[in-house]
Amino acid sequence: MAWFWWVVAAFALGVAEMFTLDLVFLTLVVAALGGGVVALAGGPFAAQAIVAAVLAVGLLTLARPRILARLRAQQEMIPSGTAALAGRTALVLSAVDDLGGRVKLAGEEWSARSEPGATLDVGARVRVVTIDGATAIVEPAATESDRGAQDGRTATDIPPPDGDDT
C-alpha cells in the first residue's frame, strides 16, 4: 500500500509543476514514481527513499539543465520594447547629426542621432540601428534602387520597408 502514497505524492507534485513550469517538480514526480516502483516491488521504505532521493538529485542536476537548455534554444526570441524598434524605418523631422535631431518612429516623435560626421536632412528616410536610452541611433535607409541593386530586383518589385509607420 506504500506505493499508493508515492503515487499521491507524484500527483501532488505534478499539480505543483503546472503552476511553476520550471521542471523542478517534474523531476520530483519522476523520483516519487521511482520510489513507488520500489514499494510496489516490495522493497523496504529505506530503499524506496534512497531510490527517490537518487532520482531527484540526479534529474535535478543532470537532466533538468539539459532539458531547459534545449527548450530555450528552440524558443524563438521575439524582440519587444525598444529592441523591437531596431531595423525599422523612420522619417526625419528635424535634421539629425551626431549631436541630435528628431525622427518620427512607430507613430511617435523620438530624439535621434546619427553616426559621427553624417547629417540627415528633414524628410529623409532613416533606419534605426539601435536605441540608446530614449534616443534612436539612425543611419540613412537604403533607397528602393539601392535595395534592388543588392538582390537584382527592380524598384517596382520591391515592397516598402517593414515598420514604416510614418
Q: What are the pLDDT digits (tens) for 28-48?
A: 999 999 999 999 999 999 999
pLDDT of residue 53: 97
Please identify, among 47, 74, 101, the residue that sits at the C-terminal boundary of a domain.
Answer: 74
Residue at 45 is within a domain = yes
Is residue 157 over pLDDT 70?
no
- Is residue 65 very low, low, confident or very high in pLDDT (cuts 50, 70, 90)? very high
Confidence of residue 114 (pLDDT cuts 50, 70, 90): very high
Residue 136 included in any domain: yes
User: Is residue 50 located within the same domain as residue 104?
Assistant: no
DSSP secondary structure string, 139-152?
Answer: EEPPPHHHHHHHHT
Which of 46, 74, 102 is at the close of a domain?
A: 74
In a domain, 162, yes or no: no
Would the pTM count as exceeding 0.75? Answer: no
Identify whether the C-beta of residue 85 lies closer than 8 Å to the C-beta of residue 164. no
- Residue 55 lies inside a defined structural domain of this protein: yes
Say yes or no to pLDDT of 113 above 70: yes
Please count the structural domains in the chain: 2
- Residue 29: strand, helix, or coil: helix
- What is the per-residue pLDDT for 146? 52
Q: Is residue 166 part of a domain?
A: no
The residue segments making up the domain with residue 52 are: 2-74
Quick one: which of 85, 120, 75, 116 has its CA closest to 99?
Answer: 116
Same domain, 119 and 58: no
**Contacts made by residues 92-97, CB under 8 angstroms, sequence distance 24+:** 92/120, 92/121, 92/122, 92/123, 92/124, 92/125, 92/126, 93/122, 94/122, 95/119, 95/120, 95/121, 95/122, 96/120, 96/126, 96/138
Domain boundary among 74, 90, 117: 74
Q: What is the pLDDT of residues 11-28, one digit of tens each?
A: 999 999 999 988 999 999
Report residue 154's pLDDT band, with 50, 70 and 90 as the boundaries.
Answer: very low
